[in-house]
Structure 1
Amino acid sequence: MKRLSYILILFLSISCTTKEADPIKLNSDGCDFCKMKIADGKFGAELITTKGRIYKFDDIHCMINYHKENLTTNIQSFYIHDFNQNNVLIPAENAFYVKGGEISSPMRGNIIAVKTEEEAKKIALKYNANPISWSEIIK
Structure 2
Amino acid sequence: MWFNHQKLIFFVLTVVLCNCGEVKPESLTVGEKKCDHCSMSIVDMRFHTQVITYKGKRYHFDAIECADQFINQKQIKPKHIYVSNYLQSNEFLPKETAIIIQTNKIRSPMGGGLAAFKSHDDAIPFQN
Shorter-chain TM range is 0.7 to 0.9
* Alignment: residue pair count: 117
Q: Where in structure 1 do 4 or more consecutive aligned residues deviate above 6 Å?
A: none
Q: Which has the higher Rg, Structure 1 or Structure 2?
A: 2
RMSD: 2.4
User: Can you list the C-alpha shifts for 1:13-40, whole angstroms capped at 9, x where unaligned?
Assistant: 9x45852111133211110011111000
Instruction: Check conservation: 1:17, 1:52, Cα contact below 8 A.
Output: no
How far did residue 74 of structure 1 move? Answer: 2.5
**Unaligned ranges ≥5, structure 2:** 1-8
Question: What is the TM-score with the length of structure 1 in the denominator?
Answer: 0.74
Unaligned runs of 5+ in 1: 129-139
Matched residue, 1:132: none
Q: Percent identity?
A: 28
Is the 1:41–1:86 contact (alpha carbons within 8 Å) kept by the matching residues of 2? yes
Secondary structure in structure 2 of the residue aligned to 1:69: helix
Q: How far apart are residue 66 of structure 1 and its match?
A: 0.4
1:111 aligns with 2:103: no
**1:39 aligned partner:** 43
Give the Å deviation of 1:113: 0.6
- Checking the alignment, whether the CA contact within 8 Å between 1:23 and 1:89 is kept in structure 2 is no
Partners of 1:50 and 1:109 lie apart in 2 by: 28
